[in-house]
């Protein structure tokens, strides 16, 4: 199906979730169990585009009664779902396009509907080839995981689609919410690849320094 931003809705349900980002052409599994988010899921499932917007909450909140959201999120289409015996929904979203948040409002079903603008992210609908080499990124990741003492099957990472490897890694790596948001708001795949590599290299230097100080 060929996507056209002109046909996209200007209002979509959104799922605010700290530490979770999604990119175009990636897949995000979600476990839905709260009543308000089950209502959100049902709303999206019966809509024309079947879109749910994933957006992070800002870490430092000035007003605990009001959830502050970042300005950029990513909408995903419901690709499949399964209802469990304990009334949860296991769903999979496929990232379609990022958006700018204009405003949001909690509706009578207690989930948020957002007014969004897609115009700044027209390129998200065009899967262009990324000729950047990812070998440096993969080797740097191996050192990062080793220093973090994470047990990771690098074969899984080697099998990731090189087209948007940086996006997939951003979603699964233990980065801060602020780092993930910075990557989400970076427009091109090439620049996201470079930024992710820089973030990991800085973490490695910090881990190496901490290790030297301990000894």
**pLDDT digits over 142-174, tens only?**
888 888 888 777 777 776 667 788 898 899 888
On average, the pLDDT of the chain sits at 87
Q: Taking 80 as the threshold, does the pLDDT of residue 210 lie above it? A: no
- What mean pLDDT comes out for the span 1-22? 87
How would residue 215 be classed by pLDDT, with cut points 50, 70 and 90?
very low
pTM of the model: 0.87
**pLDDT digits over 186-199, tens only?**
998 889 989 999 99
| Lowest model confidence (mean pLDDT) among 2-11, 25-34, 57-66 | 57-66
Q: What is the pLDDT of residue 63?
A: 59
CA distance 122 to 142: 34
């Amino acid at each position: 199906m060929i996507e056209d931003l002109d046909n996209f809705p200007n209002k979509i349900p959104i799922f605010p979730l700290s530490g979770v980002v999604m990119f175009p052409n990636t897949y995000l599994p979600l476990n839905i169990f709260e009543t308000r988010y089950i209502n959100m899921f049902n709303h999206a499932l019966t809509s024309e585009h079947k879109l749910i917007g994933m957006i992070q909450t800002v870490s430092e909140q000035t007003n605990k009664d009001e959830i502050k959201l970042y300005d950029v999120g990513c909408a995903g289409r419901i690709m499949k779902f399964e209802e469990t015996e304990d009334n949860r929904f296991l769903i999979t979203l496929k990232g379609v396009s990022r958006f700018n948040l204009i405003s949001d409002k909690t509706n009578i079903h207690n989930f948020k509907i957002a007014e969004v603008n897609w115009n700044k992210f027209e390129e998200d609908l065009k899967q262009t080839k990324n000729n950047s080499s990812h070998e440096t990124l993969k080797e740097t990741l191996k050192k990062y995981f080793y220093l973090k003492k994470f047990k990771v099957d690098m074969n899984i990472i080697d099998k990731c689609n090189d087209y948007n490897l940086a996006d997939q890694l951003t979603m699964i790596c233990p980065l801060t919410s602020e780092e993930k948001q910075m990557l989400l708001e970076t427009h091109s795949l090439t620049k996201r690849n470079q930024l992710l590599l820089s973030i990991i290299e800085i973490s490695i230097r910090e881990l190496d320094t901490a290790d030297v100080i301990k000894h």
